[in-house]
Every structure is written in C-alpha cells, then in structure tokens.
Amino acid sequence: ENDKQSLSMVTCTAPVNIAVIKYWGKRDEDLILPMNSSLSLTLHQDQLKTTTTVACSRNFQQDRIWLNGKEEDISNPRLQSCLQEIRRFSRKRQNTVDSTSDVSGVSHKVHICSVNNFPTAAGLASSASGYACLVYTLSQLFGVESEQLSAVARQGSGSACRSLYGGFVQWKLGEQLDGKDSLAEQVESESYWPELRVLTLVVSAEQKSVGSTSGMHTSVETSQLLKYRADVVVPSRMEEMIRVIRERDFPAFGELTMKDSNQFHAICLDTYPPIFYLNNMSHRIISLVHRYNQYYGETRVAYTFDAGPNAVIYTLQDHLSEFVQVVRHFFPPEVSGEEFFKGLPVCSAD
Ligand code: 2P0
C-alpha cells in the first residue's frame, strides 16, 4: 500500500442556526447540559456556514487543527471530547463488523481544516456551525451513524447540536445525568415554511467582549431571573413555539421570538456584574421593528439577538423587500457608525 492510498479525506459543510427560544445556562458544565430546552432555525447551506475538511493518514504523527487558516491548539478539552467520542463510536461499530481490521482508519491521526464564510465569534453562532461540522465530518470519515451524534456536537458547544439538522430544531434538555437524552431533534423540515425569510443586520463584526460560556456561567451563579425562566417560562414557551410554527402563524411566531430574545438580554442585565451584548444600534433596530409593526397593526417583522449586537430578522417573503428598504433608509450603508449617530435622531425619540 503506497502513501497515496493511506490518505482518506472528507469535506462537509454545516450552516449556522439562530435560536428563537434561547439556550442560556448549564446544569452541567463538563457535559454541556442546559438548564432549559431551546429551539432554532438552521439557515440554508448557501448562507452562513462552516466548511470542514478532515484527512486521516497512518503517516500523520499527531492530530492537528487549523481554523480559518491558522493552526490552533488541538488539546482544547472540547475538541478532545468530540474526537474521543467519535472514535469511541467508530470502534464500537467496527467491533460489531470486524474486530481485526481498521476499515475506517479510526486508529490514525487526523488533520482538520475548518473555515467560516463569516466573522468568527462576533455573536453569529460560529461555534454552532463549527462543532456541528467537525462532528459530522468526522462521523463521515469514520463511518459512524448514530442518533447520538448531536450529543457529541453538544459536547463541543451546546448550540452546535442544533446545527446537525435542517429546518426547525429543538434541543431537548433531557433528564439523565449522563446527558444521553440531551439531544437535538427536528421539529419541521427546511421546506415546511417556504415563505419564511431571515435577514442578518451586521452591526459590528468585532469579537464579543464576554464569551457565551463564561457569560452563562456568571448568569447561572447570579441571576434569579434565569431560574424563573428555566423552570417556569421556557417549558410552556417551547410548546407554544412548536404550535405556532406548525400553524405557520407568523405574528405569533414573531412575537414569541422577540419576547424570548428580550428575556435572554434581561437575564444578561440581571447577571452580576451585568453583561451588555446589545448596543445603541441594536436598540435602534428594536425600536424600528416595533414601529414598523405598529404602523401595520400586526407583527410582520421580528428581531432576535444572540451574544452580540448583530440583529437577526425573521419575516415573510412578502414583506422582505419593503423592510430592507426601511432599514436602508434609517441605516444608510455608506455612512459610518459615528457620523450616523450625530446626524440622525434616534428612531425611538417619539
Ligand atoms: C442560543 N446562545 O440558543 C444562545 C442564545 C447565545 C445566545 O447558544 O458554552 O456557544 O459552547 O455551550 O453554544 C451560545 O452559546 O455556548 C448560544 P457553549 P454556546 O443560540
């Protein structure tokens, strides 16, 4: 067997997902088990996504990883959890097929290259698509098929488990201590609500000041509102969200989405010391959306914000181009942020 034949390589892509019921807070930090269930929409493959290539060869001396062209430390515990779990699954499968030969190359070292087509760690869910893509690509390379794949991605980054499926996806918090039932599950496929549109308004592509992992740790330690949210609000909100999605009821979907985003950011303020993810521009977008909806007397557009100032807008195809025009009017792209603040009144002024 020559060197060429000993190299196997797989490339996959995974899109970002944007939560409409937010995950914020862990009950187990090592296994990444959440305090509450969450629900998101996975974007299409041609939008915000990660592309990952994994090669394995008996000639590789060690596992290595490059993120957006720069080599990173492979000893990162979350990366190690994912690699170990996938190799364990692959060995388990091989033992049932043939215990003597290494068909998939699972005993070989891997080289991983991963690139995002959008700014990393700017509150645009890069870890979600990143770990989902890593775990899925490894599973393809090593021939792993398992309903537990989302539990592996979850151990890379909580929100990553939801990017393994398209469409509307829920991450059920689960009950078991080992986290085996803390899995993602598709609620409806990507073709279920074809008129639904998503628009990202990039307010800032800078890296966020407080990472999600440490931010939610501080929230769990200090916010009483978080406990109330996890115990009382989210269980019924999950049911309602699934119902309004199944009914394709946009006004109800939009209202619930905005309320859940607002509650998540309220928890950030209730955290001590407080965490500020939204900035002036984010607040102006929130006001604009409410004024737009008030003008029509119905919820036509909804915003949601993650751990950063960038807005994600959900709307229906019929209202998209008009809303984009409204955004362009109030936020002309050719004017830079500072000048813009001086030149125009804040839209919530009246
Ligand atoms: C979400 N976010 O549901 C929420 C909304 C941010 C705000 O999941 O520590 O990067 O890796 O499990 O998944 C961001 O948190 O945190 C997140 P870890 P993750 O999308």
**Nearest Cα residue to 28 out of 151, 119, 141, 111:** 151
Distance CA 39, CA 317 (A): 22
- Segment 224-252 shows an average pLDDT of 98
Q: What gap in Å lies between CA 170 and CA 245, rounded to an integer?
A: 12
User: Which tens digit of pLDDT belongs to each residue from 222-232?
Assistant: 999 999 999 99
> Angle 194-196-197 (CA atoms, 0-180°, nearest 5)?
120
Cα–Cα distance list, 265 to 149, 220, 225, 278 (Å):
30, 14, 11, 8
Distance 280 CA to ligand 1 centre (A): 22
Q: Can you tell me the mean pLDDT for 86-101?
A: 80
Interval between CA 106 and ligand 1 midpoint (Å)? 30
**Beta carbons of 120 and 49 less than 8 angstroms apart:** no
- Report residue 156 CA to chain centroid gap: 12
Pocket probe for ligand 1: among 29, 127, 182, the residue whose CB has the most ligand atoms within 8 Å is 127
Cα of 325 from ligand 1 centre, angstroms:
31
- Looking at residue 142, its pLDDT comes to 95
Which residue in 34, 20, 42, 24 sits closest to 237, CA to CA? Answer: 20
User: Among the atoms of ligand 1, which is closest to the Cα of residue 216?
Assistant: 9
Q: How does pLDDT run across 34-43, given as a tens digit for each residue?
A: 999 999 999 9
**CA-proximal residue: ligand 1, atom 20 (nearest):** 19
Mutate which of 23, 37, 268 for ligand 1 pocket (most atoms within 8 A of beta carbon): 23
User: Which protein residue has the closest C-alpha to ligand 1 atom 8?
Assistant: 159
* Cβ neighbours for 75, distance < 8 A, ≥ 6 positions apart: none
Provide the residue ranges of all domains of the chain, joining segments of one domain with +.
Answer: 4-188, 196-343
In this structure, which residue's CA is closest to atom 11 in ligand 1?
157
Hey, which CATH number is domain 196-343, 1.10.8.60, 3.30.70.890, 3.30.70.141, 1.10.1740.10? 3.30.70.890
* Whole-angstrom distance, CA of residue 47 vs CA of residue 163: 13
What is the CB < 6 Å shell around ligand 1?
19, 22-24, 32, 38, 127, 157-159, 212-213, 264, 306-307
Structure confidence at residue 74 (pLDDT): 97
Atom of ligand 1 nearest to the CA of 159: 13
CATH number for 4-188 (one of 3.30.230.10, 3.30.230.70, 3.40.50.1000, 3.30.70.940): it is 3.30.230.10
Cα torsion angle, 331, 200, 29, 83, sign: negative
Counting every residue written for the chain, the total comes to 350
Residue identifier of the C-alpha nearest atom 15 of ligand 1: 212
Of 189, 159, 199, 187, nearest to 302 by C-alpha is 199
CA 4–ligand 1 middle distance (angstroms): 40
126-141 and 77-97 helices cross at what angle (nearest 10)? 30
End-to-end CA distance of the chain: 75
Nearest to 94, CA basis, from 141, 143, 164, 45: 143
Enter the ipTM. Answer: 0.99
Helix residue spans in the chain (DSSP H)? 77-97, 126-141, 149-154, 212-222, 224-228, 234-246, 250-270, 280-296, 317-330, 337-343
Closest listed residue to residue 163, CA positions, set 318, 83, 50: 50
Say yes or no: do domains 4-188 and 196-343 share a fold. no
CA of 336 from ligand 1 middle (Å) equals: 30
pLDDT per residue over 8-29, tens digit each?
999 999 999 999 999 999 999 9
Backbone dihedral angles phi then psi of residue 295, each to the nearest 5 degrees: -60, -40
Mean pLDDT, rounded, for 180-188:
98
Q: What DSSP element (H or E) covers 178?
A: none
Which of 154, 209, 212 has most ligand 1 atoms within 8 Å of its beta carbon, as the pocket-test mutant? 212
